[in-house]
Amino acid sequence: MAPSRAAPPPPPESGARPAARVEGRDAILVAAAAAFTERGYTATTIDDIADRLGATKGRVYHYYRSKADIFLDIHRYAMQRMIDMVKPIAEGRAAPAEKIAAMVRAHAVLLMTSFPFQRVSVQGLERHLAGRVTERQRAALDGVIRMRDAYEDLFVRVLEEGRKARAFRSLEPRRAVKPILGALNWLTVWYRPRPEDGDASRTAIAEEMVEFVVRGLRP
Amino acid sequence: MAPSRAAPPPPPESGARPAARVEGRDAILVAAAAAFTERGYTATTIDDIADRLGATKGRVYHYYRSKADIFLDIHRYAMQRMIDMVKPIAEGRAAPAEKIAAMVRAHAVLLMTSFPFQRVSVQGLERHLAGRVTERQRAALDGVIRMRDAYEDLFVRVLEEGRKARAFRSLEPRRAVKPILGALNWLTVWYRPRPEDGDASRTAIAEEMVEFVVRGLRP
DNA sequence: CGGGCATGATACTCCCCGGTAGGTGCAGCA
DNA sequence: TGCTGCACCTACCGGGGAGTATCATGCCCG
């Protein structure tokens, strides 16, 4: 599944080459996300990515300057989609318990429907903290990390609301958010999308997550 | 922290060289676990591991046949310790809710106190499903996967007990176990052991996990 | 005291893979 | 029909790192 097709503005300090067309980049990202998901980042070669497109390295390097840039762009897209889904819920006017339930549901569903992208995003961050990265890549990485922190804050704030309103048990939001996101993100470890099981199966999984989290927070 | 010092019998089809002493192997494993935790498996070089020992590659290859074998042995040790801690609880005679609480607590504490080993074990499994592995390594990998499945079954069985005894809400154990282990294992992503914070800090985190899980299961 | 084995260092080899240089074909256009 | 530029390919380089072959240094034991 491609990241938002409707993203025509050239990315800010993305590693994509300026002149390259968006659809071309998207194809690279989709192939790369699938490859990273299967073999992991370092074990994936640029030729692997190209093979998935029925192409050669030339095509990949026509759109992206480096493997790390592809990786970072996958992160950015994945995080952006997650934020786009969840932020409106978090900032809405519903009761905290209902907001958390809806956020958990949205998070779980997006993890499954956009699996390769989300898996790379969820599992891959630390891979770059030690490596050789350029100035621009470091900036992009910091940007993604900030997005992730901001995303976690969405949950923290709703937890705080709920605690104040006595809708949740007494808890420390910063600490309580960890098992919640853990229960959710662990999906990227055990879940494997299979074509034959449709929305119903995903919904069942998402509802189990909702149930577990909401009960874990009740006073 | 070294894996069990009292494991003198040469491991079954481990990648350790037969003649090598146990303490010698342990030192390699400790250094490798730390290196893998910091940089990830593929980004870690054998020289990195040797450097941590103040030694050279020669020493590493004296004890282990390959990098993959080191990796697999870390898995085996980590899983074995986890099983040794949790299995007696799971098979005890306490009430299901108390057993789950104790299992969660033990799991969380071991994750933190034996952090590098557990982190490698929890986060690294998929890395090998695609790579070049020998017959023996494949067998070792399968063994570790079986250990992991057996470990998950410990939780599944207690969930089943609790469901039958009406101590837990109605749930499907196979499905409900995922968010539980997810909340726990996510520790390996965000937790960073710092020397200055001691048992108290770890206990607080573990109790938050226990609280969250136990409430998530209540009828 | 001397041989043998455990232990480890040194100095390679080899190949995989990220990245680059330069070309080719084709579409659109005047 | 020739020009231009995008999209992509082929062929190559270079470095890094896994693994090996061989040698040095003990330490134990007779």
Where is average pLDDT lowest: A141-150, B23-32, B160-169, B204-213?
B23-32
CB A36 within 8 A of CB A74: yes
pLDDT at site A57: 95
C-alpha to C-alpha distance for B210 and A112, rounded to whole angstroms: 27
Chain A residues whose beta carbon lies within 8 Å of the beta carbon of residue B156 = none
Cross-chain Cβ contact B43/A130 below 8 Å: yes
Dist CA A180 CA B180 (whole Å): 10
Q: Which of A39-43, A124-128, A173-177, B39-43 has the highest mean pLDDT?
A: A173-177
A63 nearest nucleotide via C1' and CA: D7
Distances (CA, A) of A151 to A75, A217, B219: 13, 19, 31
Tokens representing residue A82 in the block? 């997650």
A51 sits within 7 Å of strand D by its CB: no
More confident residue, A59 or A10: A59
Q: What pLDDT score does A82 carry?
A: 98
Looking at residue B3, its pLDDT comes to 36
pLDDT at residue B17, as a whole number: 66
Interface of B with A (CB under 8 A): 38-43, 123, 126-127, 130-131, 169, 171-172, 175-176, 178-187, 189-190, 204-205, 208-209, 211-213, 215-218
To the nearest whole percent, how much of chain A has pLDDT over 90? 73
The whole-number pLDDT of residue B7 equals 33
Instruction: Specify burial of residue B162 (Cβ count, 10 A radius: 0-12, 13-18, 19+).
Output: buried
**Is pLDDT at A9 greater than 50 in this prediction?**
no
What's the pLDDT band for A42 if we cut at 50, 70, 90? confident
Query: What's the pLDDT band for B1 if we cut at 50, 70, 90?
Result: very low
Tell me which residue in B126, B182, B218 faces A183 most closely, judged by beta carbons: B182
* pLDDT for residue B164 is more than 60: yes
Å from A125 to nearest chain B CA?
10
The angle that helices B96-113 and B173-185 make with each other, rounded to 10 degrees, is 30
Asked if A176 and B208 come within 8 Å (Cβ–Cβ), the reply is yes
Mean model confidence pLDDT for chain B: 88
Rounded distance between C-alpha atoms, residue A180 and residue B209, angstroms: 10
Between B43 and B87, the higher pLDDT residue? B87
pLDDT higher than 60, residue A10? no
Residues A22-45 have a mean pLDDT of 90
Does B76 have pLDDT greater than 80?
Answer: yes
Which of A186, A215, A218 comes nearest B178 by C-beta?
A186
**Which nucleotide has the shortest C1'-to-CA distance from B131?**
C16
pTM value > 0.85: yes
Map out the domains of chain B as residue ranges: 3-217
Amino acid letter for position B46: I
A208/chain B closest Cα distance in angstroms: 7
Sign (positive/negative) of CA torsion B139, A119, B216, B81?
A: positive
CATH node for A3-217: 1.10.357.10
CB contacts of A212 in chain B (<8 Å) are: 176, 179-180, 216
Q: What is the pLDDT of residue A183?
A: 98
Provide the pLDDT for residue A1: 36
Site of tokens 């054998």: B46
B178/A190 touch (CB, cutoff 8 Å), yes or no: yes
Distance from CA of A19 to the nearest CA of B (A): 32
Q: Which residue is nearest to nucleotide C11 (CA to C1')?
A: B58
Instruction: Name the residue with tokens 């309103």.
Output: A165
Q: How far is the CA of B37 from the C1' of D28 (A)?
A: 38
The pLDDT of residue A6: 30
- Taking 60 as the threshold, does the pLDDT of residue B2 lie above it? no
Most confident of A5-19, A148-162, B182-196: A148-162
More confident residue, B82 or A9: B82
pLDDT surpasses 90 at A185: yes
pLDDT of residue B137: 87
